[in-house]
């Protein structure tokens, strides 16, 4: 038994037939064929599947596709616009905020909501803000820098240096 639903994904209307038990992350990856949203766990612990639902970050492995019916969804594929990349994408790239890139889409989407609520967060606020998203590669220092950089860019402030700092 399948249920029809409609979603607006990255600005485009889509209709799907889904089983009531289908998780949103599987719908996005398998039916909408947007594979930028990743799966890293089965317990809602890792945040790799994070996307925005009506502007709020959510772990899409924890939500049924039917629950998202009629909502607006942003995935990593929807971040860049004709004007260019989103400041968060630039922040991650400029600050070496990613290694394997597997956690990165979820991390960036989580950070976007964080910055919208708190445009100039402290390091501690950022660390708590992304504590639902695991990264096994980077050690998080540069993710924090990436989010600070994106914050500065979104506020229109001077951009912090992206050169690595070494003890001399």
57 is an interface residue for other proteins by CB under 8 A: no
Residue 166: count other Cβ atoms within 10 Å of its Cβ.
5
Instruction: Give the residues lining the site for ligand FES (CB under 6 A).
Output: 39-41, 44-49, 59, 61, 98-104, 135-138
> Can you tell me which residue has the tokens 């402290």?
122
Give the footprint of other proteins on residues 11-30 (CB under 8 A). 19, 21-22, 26, 29-30
Nearer to other proteins, 43 or 70 (CB): 43
85 is an interface residue for other proteins by CB under 8 A: yes
d(CA 132, CA 121): 17
Q: Which residues have C-beta within 8 Å of that of residue 66, sequence separation ≥ 6?
A: 3, 5, 18, 20, 22
* Contact yes or no for 64/100 (Cβ under 8 A): no
Q: Shortest approach of ligand FES to residue 55 CB, angstroms?
A: 19
Q: Which residues have C-beta within 8 Å of that of residue 143, sequence separation ≥ 6?
A: 92, 97, 98, 107, 130, 135
Nearer to ligand FES, 6 or 141 (CB): 141
**Angle at alpha carbon of residue 85, lines to 119 and 135, rounded to 5°:** 65
Nearer to ligand FES, 95 or 104 (CB): 104
Q: What is the binding site for other proteins (CB under 8 A)?
A: 19, 21-22, 26, 29-30, 33-43, 45-46, 48, 75-77, 79-80, 85, 89, 92-94, 96, 98-105, 108, 123, 126-128, 130-144, 163-164, 166-168
């Amino acid at each position: 038994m399948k249920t029809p639903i409609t979603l607006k994904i990255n600005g485009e209307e889509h209709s799907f037939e889904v089983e009531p038990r289908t998780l949103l992350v599987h719908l996005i990856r398998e039916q909408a064929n947007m594979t930028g949203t990743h799966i890293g766990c089965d317990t809602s612990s890792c945040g790799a599947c994070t996307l925005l639902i009506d502007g709020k970050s959510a772990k899409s492995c924890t939500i049924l596709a039917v629950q998202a019916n009629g909502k607006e969804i942003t995935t990593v594929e929807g971040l860049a616009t004709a004007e260019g990349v989103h400041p968060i994408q630039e922040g991650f790239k400029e600050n070496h905020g990613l290694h394997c890139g597997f956690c990165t889409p979820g991390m960036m989407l989580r950070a976007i909501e964080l910055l919208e609520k708190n445009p100039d967060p402290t390091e501690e606020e950022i660390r708590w803000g992304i504590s639902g998203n695991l990264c096994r590669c980077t050690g998080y220092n540069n993710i924090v820098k990436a989010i600070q950089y994106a914050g500065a860019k979104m506020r229109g402030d001077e951009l912090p240096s992206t050169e690595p700092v070494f003890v001399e």
